Structure 1
């Protein structure tokens, strides 16, 4: 191979390398910006935002999450009662209509 061919092959390889490095930089920047963990060299997860403010935010979000779960449980119970009332009422109404039909005949 002559030098000219090697230089021609190096252009797309170097362009692809630069694109890959640029994409990695963008992905890493987005992870840091949004608080996602970064992968360390040995597979461990590194969390970029672990300051006092972040810890307080996590605590507040955890508290809000448990309150919302309790409220959701309450709403599910109320919905189950409403469904029971509605379905029992419809069943009773069907029986009453059927009894009236039998009396009419």
Structure 2
């Protein structure tokens, strides 16, 4: 085998290309990000990502509303606990 001929150079290029293809195929098969020479890496698209984002957004809005209602209730309880007895009795009667 001649080390200086064009066949050796072509063999090196073919081996390198085959290695790159095999590496990319294995990474894609197992869900790892695929390397792209222009933009860095390409992530595997998640089919349910948009649905998950929508569900989390609606849950976040619901929990934010619940927290604001609880803060209002705590403010009323703090006011009842710190006010004088007469105003507290009137406030409790108003809540009934």
Classify the TM-score, shorter chain: 0.3 to 0.5
Name the structure where helix makes up a greater proportion of residues: 1
Q: TM-score, normalised by structure 2?
A: 0.47
